[in-house]
Structure 1
Amino acid sequence: MFRRTFWFTAGAAAGVWATTKVHRKLKQLTPESLAAQAANKAIDAGHKVREFAVDVKAGMVRREAELGEALGLEAPADPALPAPRRLAAIEYTEQPRTVYSAHPQNHHPRHYDPHNRNEDH
Structure 2
Amino acid sequence: MFRRTFWFTAGAAAGVWATTKVNRKLKQLTPESLAARTADKAVEAGHRLKDFALDIKSGMAQREAELNDVLGIDGSEPRELPARRRLVALDTTSQQYTKQQHTKQQHTKHSYDRNEDH
Provide the TM-score with structure 1 as the length reference.
Answer: 0.62
Cα pair distance change 1:32/1:16, threshold 3 Å: same
Which AA in structure 1 matches 2:11?
G
Say if 2:54 is the partner of 1:54. Answer: yes
Cα pair distance change 1:76/1:60, threshold 3 Å: closer
Greater share of helix residues, 1 or 2?
2
How many residues in Structure 1 have an aligned counterpart in Structure 2?
81
In structure 1, list runs of 5 or more residues that go unmatched: 78-83, 88-121
Distance in 2 between residues matched to 1:75 and 1:45, nearest whole Å:
36
Distance in 2 between residues matched to 1:44 and 1:6, nearest whole Å:
48
Say if 2:73 is the partner of 1:73. Answer: yes
Percentage identity across paired residues of the two chains: 70
Map Cα deviations across residues 5-48 of structure 1 (whole Å, 9 max, x no partner). 00000000000000000000000000000000000000000000
RMSD across aligned positions (CA)? 2.1
Greater share of strand residues, 1 or 2?
1
In structure 2, list runs of 5 or more residues that go unmatched: 82-118
> Which residue of the partner structure matches residue 86 of structure 1?
80
Cα pair distance change 1:15/1:85, threshold 3 Å: closer
Query: Relative contact order (C-alpha < 8 Å, sep 6+): which is higher?
Result: 1
Which AA in structure 1 matches 2:42?
A
Cα pair distance change 1:11/1:75, threshold 3 Å: closer
